[in-house]
Chains A and B, each alone.
Chain A
Amino acid sequence: MTLLAIESATDMVGVALVGGVGGPVERVHLGGRLHAELLAPAIEEVCALAGCTIGEITGVTVDVGPGLFTGLRVGVATAKALAQGLGCRVLGVSSLDILASAAVGQDDAEAPRLVVPVIDARRGEVFTAAYHFEWLAEHAEVSDPASIREDRLEPMSPGDLVEWLLDLSSEVGSVMVVGDGAVRYRRLLSVHPSLDLRLADELSGPPPLALARLATARLSDGGTETLAPEDLVPDYRRHADARINWEERAPRTAGATPSDPTRS
C-alpha cells in the first residue's frame, strides 16, 4: 500500500508517504499556522521525493485530533477530498496516540513506561491522555497505544494536569511528557524531577512519519476500521463556541472602504 499521512493538529503541518519506491519520506513545516498554504505543496513534494504520482496513492491517513480546530479542519478536509478523488478509504488517528507511539519509538534503552502527550487546547487548557507501556526485555514489540490509553476526554487546566501527572509518577517513578502543551507549560512541569521533558521539543507536534507507521500497523493488523471519506470528522472534544461574532461574520472591510483611494 502507498499510504499518505497528513498531520495538522498543532501549529506545525506535515506530510509523510510510506510504501513508495523511494522509501518512507516526510516533509514538516514548523509553526506559523499556515496549514492551508503549506499542506498541498507538501503533498506534492513528498510524492516527488517518494517517486510516485498522487494517483498512485492507495490509502490516506490523517490526524483527527484533538488539536487546533482550524488545523484539523484543513487536514481532515484535505484527507477526505483526496480519498474521495482517489476512490479510497481513509483512516483517522488520534493526535495523542501518534505522540505516544513516537515517544516509545525513540531509540532509547530505557524506554519510558508511562507516556503522557499534552496538546495545547488554547484558552488555558490542554488535551491529554496517559499511555501505560509494558516493557519486557524478551517482548520488545510495542502494543498499539490505543489499547493502553487512559484518556482524559475533557480538556483540563495546566494546574490539574500537573496534579494528575504527579499522581501518575508517584506510581511508576517517572513520566515522559511530550506535545506542544508540554512545551507551552514547561515552567510548570520542569520543577518536578519525576516529569521527563527531554523529548518535549522534538515531539512538540505529532510526527507525520509516526502517523504513517502507526496507521500502517493498524491497517495490517486488520482490526482497525477505515472510513468512507464522507464519514470522517475531526475529534474536536469541545462544543463549538456559539457566540455570534458579527464582526467576523460581516468583514466590513471586505470590498474596499469607500474612502480608500486605491479602490478600482
Chain B
Amino acid sequence: MADHHINRVLGIETSCDETAASVVDGGSAIVSSVVSSQIDLHARYGGVVPELAGRAHVELLTPVLSDALAQAGSDTSGTGIDAIAVTYGPGLIGSLLVGVAEAKALSMVWGVPMVGVNHLEAHLFASLLEQPDLGWPLVVLLVSGGHTLLIEVTEPGRYRLLGGTIDDAAGEAFDKVARYLGLGYPGGPAIDRLAELGDPGAFAFPRSLPGDGYDFSFSGLKTSVVNTVRKHPDAATEDVAASFQQAVVDVLVTRARRAAADTGARAVCLAGGVGANSLLRRRIEEACAHDGIGAFLPSRALCTDNAAMVAAAGWWRLRNGGPSPLNLGADPNLRLVSVP
C-alpha cells in the first residue's frame, strides 16, 4: 500500500561502527545527516569489536538523533517527520538491535510508520541522493569492510547478484594488511595515503579471479603480502602498500568492467567504504570512459555508512511495499532481495 503523503523520512543506521541519523525529503534531498564514527574506539584492536560497537551505539544514538532532528528544524517530538527508516540487517546483531529498538519506540510515540531497510540496498540508494536521474540498468560495485558484491540493478528495487567474495571482503583485506604493516585502523585510508608515495609495480602480487563468473578472493593476496614482507624485511612499506592496493583495484575493476559489458549496463556505480579509495575511483572512471559507459562515484561521505541512504531506501520501500510490523527483528545475515 503506497502512502503518498510520506515526504520527510528519518533514517537510522547502526549496523556496524557508525552511529548515524538523517532526515531526507522526498527520497533524495538530504536535510540533515549526522554520523558519529567509533573509529577511535576500535582502532587499538585493528577492527570492529562487536560488543564495544553495541555499547557505543546505545550511548551515541540518543544525541545523534537529537542533532539530526534539530538540524532538520524538527525536534524529538518528531514535528514534520512522516516516517522512520532503520537498517535491520545485514550487520552486527548487537548493533542492529539498538537502531531497530529506537525506530520502533519513536514510531509508536510519534504515530508514524516505520520501515526496516536492508543495509546493502541502502548503499545502492546512496547514489540516488546525488544523482536522482541515474539511468538503468546499472552495475554496482559494493565494496566495504563487510562486503564485496557486484550487483546488477535493472531498475530501483530489482537486483541480480552477479558475484561476491569467496573469502575476505576487500575492506577486510585492507584492514588486515594495514594491521600487518603497522599502519593502524581503519586500513583503507591509511593504505590509500601511503600508496600515493610508493611504487605500485614494486611487487607483483597475485590477481585472483576465481571461477568464470564475477567472484572475488582476497585471502591469497593477503598471504602473499605477508610472505613477501617476510622475505624482504627491508622493503619500503609504501611500495608494499602501493603494490597491494594496485592488485586489489585491478581485480575489482576487471570484474566490474566485464559485468557491465556482459549485462549491457549504462553505467558502473561505486558504493561502500572502499568506494572512497582514490585509486579505485580513478581507475573506474578511466575504465568506464574507455568503454563508453557512465561512471558514478558517490561522494566519499555517501560511500561510507550513513543514515541518509537508509532514509532514501526507506522512502522508496514505503512506497513499494509499505511499513514493517512492530515485531520486526534484526537479521545479521539479511540478503538483498528484489521487490516482489
Contact = CB atoms under 8 A, between A and B. Distances in A.
Interface of A: 34-41, 43-44, 54-55, 69-70, 73-74, 76-78, 80-82, 84-87, 229-230, 233-234, 236, 240-246, 248-258, 260, 263-264
Given A240-B49, A254-B335, 16 more contacts: A44-B326, A55-B111, A73-B55, A73-B94, A73-B98, A77-B61, A77-B98, A81-B102, A81-B109, A85-B76, A85-B105, A229-B62, A246-B172, A248-B92, A252-B169, A258-B213
B147 A250 contact: yes
Given A82-B109, A233-B59, A256-B161, A77 B51 contact: no
Nearest to B42: A244
- Top 3 nearest A-B pairs (CB, nearest first) are A85-B109, A81-B105, A240-B51
25 contacts: A36-B97, A38-B327, A39-B101, A40-B101, A40-B104, A40-B327, A54-B109, A73-B55, A73-B101, A81-B101, A81-B105, A81-B106, A84-B76, A84-B106, A234-B55, A242-B45, A242-B52, A249-B48, A249-B145, A250-B146, A250-B169, A251-B91, A254-B90, A254-B333, A255-B335
Interface in B27-49: 45-49
Interface residues of B, number: 74
A76 B58 contact: yes
Contacts, number: 184
B101 A264 contact: no
Interface of A, secondary structure class, is: helix
B66 A84 contact: yes
A41 B327 contact: yes
* Residue in A76, A80, A255 with the greatest tally of chain B CB atoms within 10 Å: A255
B125 interface: no
Contacts of A37: 327-329
Given A240-B51, A249-B48, A249-B146, A36 B330 contact: yes
A229 B76 CA distance: 11
Contacts of B305: none
A77 B334 CA distance: 22
B18 interface: no
B180 interface: no
B164 A258 contact: yes
B49 A244 contact: yes
B109 A252 contact: no
